[in-house]
């Protein structure tokens, strides 16, 4: 934040308390002053009382929508910068908001709060620059009319203002370039030069079609010229030095002079690679969850029907009845585990910590209990347990730590389809108790290791049919960190995987 200016006042309007709290905490950490409202009507009252420097407003709210709020505020204070907040699938509302005068938009949930920081600071810089330019323009007109002899001084000030504008454009983190009404390049910031691999000094004044041939980018500029606002579109860009393609969101809009006449087109290039990957993973998660829930339910319904309709379909002997009931119990237990994972994920994403009930306990006893269970799960795997007793009892939540070990051992067996030895070791290392679980399975690539603890991530290995929702290791990480511990992994394709857990000894 620019320390030469007093802290900006920001009004956040959203009917979801968790979003308002998240925005307030983040913005106050950046020394902004924050006022809040839970709906559009209340937000309008707060706006009139507080006169904020910037407004963050949700588009869908009770009593008064974000669009109605935007219309009213633009009538009363047209220069107030407003950033709208939309859910996924609300692109039409976003376009309407931008046409009504919104300066920018954010898509919630805003998982990376640096995106919020960037949008707020960019809007405040833009508003401040506009005020400075208007004040300077008025001053310049008065000076030229009153004293033509000071024209040289005024021109010098104009050059300094242009340098200031160039410096701001170059510092914007998103790619940005400007073309005039004839589609000739007149500005390029550093981010755009890096993304598009062009040198501004070599392309200045040239037609954009001679420099960049991608149809999506050129169509975005043409849309802006024809309709004054282009719909954001995704552009997949590949570079030899990048390990994977990047997805850029291209948005173009007209730059208007003070009299409202268009003077050029501004195009923004926002890197949304992570957002698109997150959307893809969530869609895969929904499909996987439906399959994972439906499969055991189908089996439970089928065996239950056989037991219930014995009078019609024939008696079932007691041994077979017990076999059916055991199968139903196993599938119900699996469903319960899936539901627990979904509930844990919901708590984590709502900003709630997983509740722990730590008590002094025997970590060796817990390890022995879990290993004994899994020795009966698979006859093709050999589980070896080696532990050393810590100098004092560890304080941990028995149920949650059992869930952690259960998840890791379950993965070790599932991802070792050929069987083999699974080693479980527990030892005191540097004032912490460490547990190492090593398998001889298929292993993971470097990219898979980096994403192992992400929500919804499941290793994509074509020769294994491994179920699960892709939540287990994300929940493991949350539980371990709630114990003030650490979890990490070492692996190589075809050479197996080792998961490390480290818990500090109490008082260390």
- Pairing state between β 233-237 and 246-256: antiparallel
Cβ–Cβ < 8 Å for 483, 356: yes
Closest CA to 59 of 8, 113, 96, 10: 96
Tens digits of per-residue pLDDT, 459-504? 544 444 444 545 678 778 888 888 889 999 999 888 899 999 999 8
- pLDDT tens per residue, the chain (508 residues)? 555 567 889 999 998 898 888 889 999 998 999 999 999 899 899 999 999 999 999 988 888 888 899 899 989 888 889 998 887 667 888 888 888 888 888 888 888 888 888 888 888 888 888 888 777 777 767 765 665 545 455 455 545 545 555 655 555 667 778 888 888 888 877 777 777 778 877 878 888 888 887 788 888 888 888 876 667 888 787 777 777 788 888 888 887 777 878 888 888 888 887 777 767 666 666 665 665 666 677 777 877 877 887 777 777 788 888 888 887 887 787 677 667 666 666 665 555 566 778 888 888 899 999 898 888 878 889 999 998 877 667 888 888 888 889 889 988 888 888 889 999 999 988 888 999 999 998 988 887 888 787 765 555 444 444 445 456 787 788 888 888 899 999 998 888 999 999 998 865 4
pLDDT given for residue 489 in this prediction: 92
Query: Sign of torsion, CA 255 257 262 264?
Result: negative
**Start-end of H helices in 205-317:** 208-211, 215-227, 273-308, 310-313
Kindly list the structural domains of the chain, giving each domain's residue range(s) and its CATH number in brackets, ordered by start.
1-155 (3.40.50.2300), 172-271 (3.30.450.20), 277-349 (1.10.287.130), 359-504 (3.30.565.10)
pLDDT given for residue 434 in this prediction: 92
Cβ–Cβ < 8 Å for 221, 252: yes
* Interacting residues of 405 by C-beta distance below 8 A, sequence separation 6+: 366, 367, 370, 435, 437
Helix (H, G, I), strand (E, B) or coil at 268: strand
State the DSSP code for 150. Answer: G
pLDDT given for residue 174 in this prediction: 76
Tens digits of per-residue pLDDT, 453-467? 776 555 544 444 444
Strands (DSSP E) along 298-380, which ranges?
359-361
* Interacting residues of 197 by C-beta distance below 8 A, sequence separation 6+: 239
Strands (DSSP E) along 94-237, which ranges?
104-108, 175-180, 185-188, 233-237
* Interacting residues of 463 by C-beta distance below 8 A, sequence separation 6+: 442
């Amino acid at each position: 934040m620019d320390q030469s200016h007093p802290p900006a006042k920001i009004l956040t309007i959203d009917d979801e308390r968790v979003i308002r709290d998240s925005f307030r905490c983040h913005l106050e950490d950046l020394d902004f002053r924050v006022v809040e409202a839970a709906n559009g009507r209340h937000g309008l009252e707060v706006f009139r009382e507080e006169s904020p420097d910037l407004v963050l407003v949700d588009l869908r709210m009770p009593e008064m929508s974000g669009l109605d709020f935007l219309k009213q505020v633009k009538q009363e204070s047209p220069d107030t910068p407003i950033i709208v907040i939309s859910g996924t699938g609300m692109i039409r509302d976003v376009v309407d908001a931008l046409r009504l005068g919104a300066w920018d938009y954010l898509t919630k949930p805003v998982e990376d709060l640096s995106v919020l920081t960037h949008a707020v600071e960019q809007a405040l810089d833009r508003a401040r620059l506009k005020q400075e330019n208007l004040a300077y323009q008025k001053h310049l007109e008065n000076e030229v009319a009153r004293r033509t002899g000071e024209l040289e001084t005024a021109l010098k000030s104009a050059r300094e203002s242009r340098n200031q504008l160039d410096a701001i454009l170059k510092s914007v983190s998103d790619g940005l370039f400007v073309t005039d009404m004839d589609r000739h390049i007149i500005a390029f910031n550093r981010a755009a030069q890096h993304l598009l691999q062009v040198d501004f000094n070599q392309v200045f004044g040239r037609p954009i079609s001679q420099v960049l041939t991608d149809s999506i980018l050129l169509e975005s500029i043409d849309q802006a010229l024809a309709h004054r606002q282009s719909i954001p579109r995704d552009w997949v860009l590949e570079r030899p030095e990048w390990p994977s393609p990047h997805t850029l969101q291209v948005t173009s809009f007209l730059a208007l002079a003070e009299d409202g006449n268009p003077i050029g087109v501004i195009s923004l290039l926002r890197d949304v690679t992570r957002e698109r990957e997150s959307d893809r993973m969530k869609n895969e998660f929904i499909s996987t969850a439906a399959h994972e829930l439906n499969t055991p339910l189908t089996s439970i319904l089928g065996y239950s029907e056989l037991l219930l309709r014995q009078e019609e379909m024939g008696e079932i002997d007691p041994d077979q009845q017990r076999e059916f009931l055991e199968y139903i119990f196993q599938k119900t237990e699996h469903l319960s585990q899936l539901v627990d994972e979904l509930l844990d994920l919901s708590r984590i994403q709502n900003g709630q910590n997983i509740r722990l009930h730590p008590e002094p306990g025997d970590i060796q006893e817990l390890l022995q209990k879990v290993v004994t269970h899994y020795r009966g799960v698979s006859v093709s795997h050999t589980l070896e347990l080696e532990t050393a007793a810590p100098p004092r009892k560890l304080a941990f939540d028995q149920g949650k730590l059992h869930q952690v070990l259960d998840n890791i051992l379950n993965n070790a067996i599932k991802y070792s389809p050929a069987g083999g030895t699974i080693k479980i070791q527990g030892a005191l290392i540097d004032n912490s108790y460490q547990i190492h679980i090593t398998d001889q399975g298929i292993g993971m690539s470097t990219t898979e290791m980096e994403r192992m603890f992400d929500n919804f991530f499941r290793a994509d290995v074509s020769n294994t049919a491994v179920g699960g929702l892709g939540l287990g290791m994300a929940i493991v990480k949350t539980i371990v960190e709630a114990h003030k511990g650490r979890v990490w992994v070492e692996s190589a394709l075809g050479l197996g995987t080792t998961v490390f857990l480290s818990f500090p000894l109490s008082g260390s």
